[in-house]
Structure 1
Amino acid sequence: MRRIMDLLKAAGIEIIYMHIKKNGYYDPILKILFINVNLSDMETKKTIMHEAGHGVLHDELYPLYKMTVPHSKMESEADKFMIDNLLLEYMNLYSLSPEEVDYMKFMDHYEIDYTYESYLRTLLMNPKMDTYLKII
């Protein structure tokens, strides 16, 4: 999580915790992540990572966010950004190499939707996985 906080700081993005109906959202004009104060620790972490994905990957694309197809694509990219960072955290936490990761245990541990199973398997089988995780 430290890595994400450093990325947000470098991008000039702050986090505000408040009572909101959504888990969170990113305002690219204000450069603020708004996070629901009522989330569990795990949901807070996942929401911050997802919304940070928007801030890091999509900051300049916010006019496209109101269009259905770009919006859907950006949501998927933010989810993958979250998964990549959770995977890095998980591997560091348990001192695992990509070959040692049981992707189903990982998904259950972080309560990741199984629709991302294929993405995760592909990511873990990539021979350049170690290099990729060092640069995300």
Structure 2
Amino acid sequence: MSSRLKQLLRKYHLEIKYGPTHGKGYIVKTPKGFPNLLIVKENLSDEETEKVILHEIGHAEHDKEIVGDYRTDARAHDCCESKANNFMISEKVKEYAELGYDTLNANWLDLAKEIGTQDYWLVREELSKYITE
């Protein structure tokens, strides 16, 4: 696991546990004073595991901003999922830029496919933040 992921997990007081799950991942709230558990489906590829972790960290970052119940309010659910996906995409593009890839001439469609998103415009927008000429 990258040092960046470890740093983010510490920042949001999350501890990873792997196991069988119905989805790819979710956060279990714990009593105050204990880290929340980020449950990740076992046997995912390293790449998919990283994306799930980033997505769930996105929930930790943004869900408190959303008005409504994630489980019963479709609008709140969609907003939470969108913000979590945007966080994951932002972090993956940041990683891409920090690895020294040419962000000015990057093929944002291919990068979006590599990340596993169809939100091509967000990938393009995120890439533009790292263009240095």
Q: Please report the TM-score for the alignment, with normalisation by the length of structure 1.
A: 0.79
* Equivalent position SS for 1:17: strand
The one-character-per-residue Cα deviations of 1:53-107 (angstroms, maximum 9, x if unpaired) are 11122257596212110110110110010000011111222x1353132212212
1:90 and 2:96 matched: yes
Identity of aligned residues (%): 28
Whether the 8 Å contact between 2:28 and 2:37 is mirrored in structure 1 is: yes
Whether the 8 Å contact between 2:66 and 2:76 is mirrored in structure 1 is: no
Whether the 8 Å contact between 1:54 and 1:74 is mirrored in structure 2 is: yes
1:71 and 2:77 matched: yes
Question: Would you identify which runs of 4 or more consecutive aligned residues in structure 1 move more than 6 Å?
Answer: none
Amino acid at match of 2:87: F
Q: Distance in 2 between matches of 1:119 and 1:63?
A: 25
Q: Give the equivalent residue in structure 2 for 1:124.
A: 127
Q: Distance in 1 between matches of 2:80 and 2:56?
A: 11
1:15 and 2:20 matched: no
Q: For the structure 1 residues 76 and 63, does the alpha-carbon distance in structure 2 shift closer, same or farther, using more than 3 Å as the test?
A: same
Write 1 or 2 for the structure with the bigger share of helix.
Answer: 1
Amino acid at match of 2:78: S
Identify unmatched segments of 5+ residues in structure 1: 132-136
* Equivalent position SS for 1:107: helix
User: How many aligned positions are there?
Assistant: 125
- Root mean square deviation of aligned Cα: 2.3
What does residue range 1-136 of structure 1 map to in structure 2 within 5 Å?
1-29=2-30, 31-59=36-64, 64-66=69-71, 67-93=73-99, 95-110=100-115, 112-114=116-118, 116-125=119-128, 129-130=129-130
